[in-house]
Amino acid sequence: MSAPISLRHELVGAFGDPIDENPTGLMMEPAFASAGLNWRYQLLRVRAVDLAAAVAGVRALNFCGFNLTIPHKVAVLRHLDAVAPDAALIGAVNTVRRVGDRLIGENTDGKGFLRAVCEDAGADPVGKRVVFLGAGGAARAMAVEMALAGAAHITVVNRSAERGAELVSILREKTPAQAEFVPWQDAYAIPADADILVNATSIGLYPDVTALPAVDVTTIRPGLLVCDVIPNPPRTAFLKAAAARGARTLDGLGMLVYQGAIAFKLWTGVEPDVAVMRRALEEAFG
């Protein structure tokens, strides 16, 4: 007698509004196929007012988990049964996994960045001085994970003082790293002792591909690791300018792939093929 087979797919997906252009499914579906998993990733347009109903729907429909994007990353917290300690520190959840009947919140954005720094750039955050341009959701996740991974000092450079100071307070109070806030005025001069510089703003994101963060590029020195959070285009104008000054560069595509790979592993228990995921995104972004 042949072994019983299941014709049912396991379901995961993303809640967001807007959601139509979210690329996550493009990398998840080929990764499921390459791992031999009968799973599907759905993009679900969920309006802010419908979030509670959508989470109840996930429970009823037995989804194995889901991702969250704008505007749900913070609002989802009150609908979950538990939140991982780092996601609680960051104050936002981008991934939910189901364990039995419980929904557990995680944040894989900063961990994805950390993995890209370690594996793709070959850099060790321990003892490093890191400068973040921006203090939004992505910067928060990245800075907290870098601090928890052993970065010695974090400078947060941001236009809005309130957001920048709030991130610095979290870093000072809840992580071992030292942290300082610098108001972003004019062209920012990178401190000579910085090891890693990260553009964690949306400046340079498609279609504004020629936009550059206000940085004095003459202060970018050879050997500095310059990272960009922007995945599309992967080779941003900022990274090109940094490379022209002799800096090492790390694009935002790796972070996007790894944050998805970490969610994939949380849901399925299987390590995905990150090369398959990256290739799918490179094709999508042309």
> Residues with catalytic annotation?
73
Q: Binding to ligand NDP (CB under 6 A): which residues in 156-215?
A: 158-160, 163, 184, 201-203, 205
Cβ-closest position to ligand NDP: 136
Number of residues binding to ligand NDP, judged by CB under 6 A: 24
SS3 assignment, position 175: coil
Nearer to ligand NDP, 259 or 268 (CB): 259
From candidates 24, 259, 264, 267, binder to ligand NDP by CB under 6 A: 259
37-45, 50-58, 254-262, 269-277 -> range binding ligand NDP (CB under 6 A): 254-262
Least distance to ligand NDP from the beta carbon of 82, Å?
A: 23
Question: By C-alpha distance, which of 45, 49, 57, 99 is closest to 75?
Answer: 49
What is each CA distance from 46 to 42, 54, 88, 258, 281, in whole angstroms?
12, 7, 23, 25, 24
Least distance to ligand NDP from the beta carbon of 162, Å?
A: 8
CA distance 234 to 230: 7
- Give Rg (Cα) of the chain: 19
Nearer to ligand NDP, 10 or 202 (CB): 202
Least distance to ligand NDP from the beta carbon of 101, Å?
A: 29
Structure tokens at 95: 């991934």
From candidates 86, 109, 145, 195, binder to ligand NDP by CB under 6 A: 109
8-16, 215-223, 251-259, 278-286 -> range binding ligand NDP (CB under 6 A): 251-259
Buried b (16+ CB within 10 A) or exposed e, 137-169: bbbbbbbbbbbbbebebbbbbbeeeebbebbbe
What is each CA distance from 213 to 83, 133, 200, 216, 221, in whole angstroms?
34, 8, 10, 9, 17
24-32, 152-160, 216-224, 275-283 -> range binding ligand NDP (CB under 6 A): 152-160
Structure tokens at 247: 């800096």
Question: By C-alpha distance, which of 109, 141, 146 is closest to 260?
Answer: 109
Least distance to ligand NDP from the beta carbon of 8, Å?
A: 31
Structure tokens at 201: 């703003």
From candidates 13, 25, 91, 137, binder to ligand NDP by CB under 6 A: 137
Structure tokens at 282: 């490179």
Contact 9, 38 (CB under 8 A): yes
What is each CA distance from 3 to 6, 33, 36, 134, 178, in whole angstroms?
10, 20, 16, 54, 58
From candidates 229, 237, 242, 280, binder to ligand NDP by CB under 6 A: 229
4-12, 97-105, 216-224, 252-260 -> range binding ligand NDP (CB under 6 A): 252-260
Q: Binding to ligand NDP (CB under 6 A): which residues in 77-106?
A: none
Nearer to ligand NDP, 57 or 163 (CB): 163
Contact residues toward ligand NDP (CB under 6 A) are 109, 112, 134-139, 158-160, 163, 184, 201-203, 205, 229-231, 252, 255-256, 259
